[in-house]
Amino acid sequence: KQEVTQIPAALSVPEGENLVLNCSFTDSAIYNLQWFRQDPGKGLTSLLLIQSSQREQTSGRLNASLDKSSGRSTLYIAASQPGDSATYLCAPDSGSNYQLIWGAGTKLIIKP
């Protein structure tokens, strides 16, 4: 059974810092891995999707990497801004009935 762990559970840093959020998963047989952002009281917004054949994906200040063999993914946020404050969730897709398995998320606070 796939299990997903996100570390740290919470992170508070001053504006401008570069950050790394970690996601580990136990079953490396994944179809892709997705990173989402959740703002308070809102739904989830897809940030990046890394296919199993890819090593990384970039979107603006965000870069996500994937190491399937070690069961790890990282989300790198460059030059953090207060607007980046949110909870970030990762979800590997095992392809089994198209279900995502979710981590509990990292709550990020960027202080002005």
The stretch near another protein (CB under 8 A) out of 17-25, 37-45, 65-73, 77-85 is 37-45
Among positions 50-109, residues that touch another protein (CB under 8 A) are 51, 89, 91, 97-105
Closest to another protein by CB, 43 or 83? 43
When asked if residue 49 is in the footprint of another protein (CB under 8 A), the reply is: yes
CB 20 within 8 A of CB 72: no
Nearer to another protein, 53 or 69 (CB): 53
Using DSSP, state whether 18 is helix, strand or coil: coil
Contact between 40 and another protein by CB under 8 A: the answer reads no
Which among 38, 103, 89, 92 is positioned nearest to 66, based on CA atoms? 92
Among 13, 44, 72, 76, binds another protein (CB under 8 A): 44
Helices and strands in the chain: count of H runs, count of E runs? 0, 10
Contact partners, residue 48, CB within 8 Å, separation at least 6 = 34, 35, 57, 58, 59, 62, 64, 75
| Chain residues that interact with another protein, rule: CB under 8 A | 4, 31-32, 34, 36, 41-46, 49, 51, 89, 91, 97-105
